[in-house]
């Protein structure tokens, strides 16, 4: 089966502990290296997605940035 340019699909097996290996071609394509953290997004109707690093880093930054609570004063 041929895919449109820039579109890919791989089959992976789920292991005993629910783990799977990201195929080498996908790891190279998205610059995923051993020890990297990945963000897994899920939607009940659309399935599971792993966004690319640049988007992932944006989400991590937003999720873990320190935001002052309302009324909290800066004590610098």
Q: How many residues does the chain have?
A: 76
Cα(first)–Cα(last) distance of the chain, in Å?
60
Which tokens hold the place of 55? 């988007």
Residue with tokens 């009324």: 71
Instruction: Kindly report whether the global pTM for this prediction surpasses the value 0.75.
Output: no
Chain-wide mean pLDDT for the chain? 84
- pLDDT tens-digit series, residues 7-66: 999 999 999 999 999 999 999 999 999 999 888 889 999 999 888 888 877 877 877 776
How distant, in Å, are the alpha carbons of 2, 40, 42, 55 from that of 51? 23, 7, 11, 6
């Amino acid at each position: 089966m041929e895919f449109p340019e820039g579109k890919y699909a791989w089959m992976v097996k789920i292991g005993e502990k629910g783990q799977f290996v990201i195929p080498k071609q996908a790891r190279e394509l998205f610059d995923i290296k051993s020890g990297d953290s990945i963000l897994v997004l899920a939607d009940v109707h659309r399935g599971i997605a792993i966004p690319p690093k640049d988007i992932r880093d944006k989400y991590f930054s937003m999720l873990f940035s320190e935001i002052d609570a309302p009324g909290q004063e800066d004590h610098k």
